[in-house]
Amino acid sequence: MDADQVFLTVIYFVMSLSVFLVCRLVSRKLSGDNFSEKWFWVCLVGVLLWGAAQFSVARYGSIFLFSSPLEFLVNNDWVRWIAFISALLQATCIPKKSIRKN
C-alpha cells in the first residue's frame, strides 16, 4: 500500500468515525423524553441510507448510487472492512423511547 492509499484509508476512517459519532450524538439527544415518531423515522431513513452506502463499499467496492466501482475501493481491504464495521455500528444510532441507565 503506497502513501496515497494510506492517506485515503485514514481519511475514509476519520469520515466514517465522524458520521458515526454525529449519528450517535443525535440519537442520544432524541431518545428518552425528546423521542418523537417523526424523528425516529427521519433517523431511521438516514441510518439506512448511510448503512446502504457503507455496505455497498464493503461488498462491491463502489459508492451507493454510482455505477462503476472505484479502483481504490475495490483494491483496498482496509477501507472495505472499515465500511463493513461502520455499517454495523450504524444500527445503534436509532433513537429509542427509553434510555438504558448504566
> In 1-17, which positions are buried (b, 16+ CB within 10 angstroms) versus exposed (e)?
eeeeeeebbeebbeebe
pLDDT band (50, 70, 90) for residue 91: confident
Question: Would the pTM of this model clear 0.75, i.e. be above it?
Answer: yes
Please write the tens of the pLDDT for every residue from 15-67: 999 999 999 999 989 888 888 889 899 999 999 999 888 988 888 888 777 66
Indicate if the pLDDT at residue 100 is higher than 80.
Answer: no
For residues 86 and 62, the model is more confident at: 86
Burial classification of residue 77, based on how many CB atoms lie within 10 Å of its CB (0-12 exposed, 13-18 middle, 19 or more buried): exposed
Residue 99 has pLDDT above 70, yes or no: no
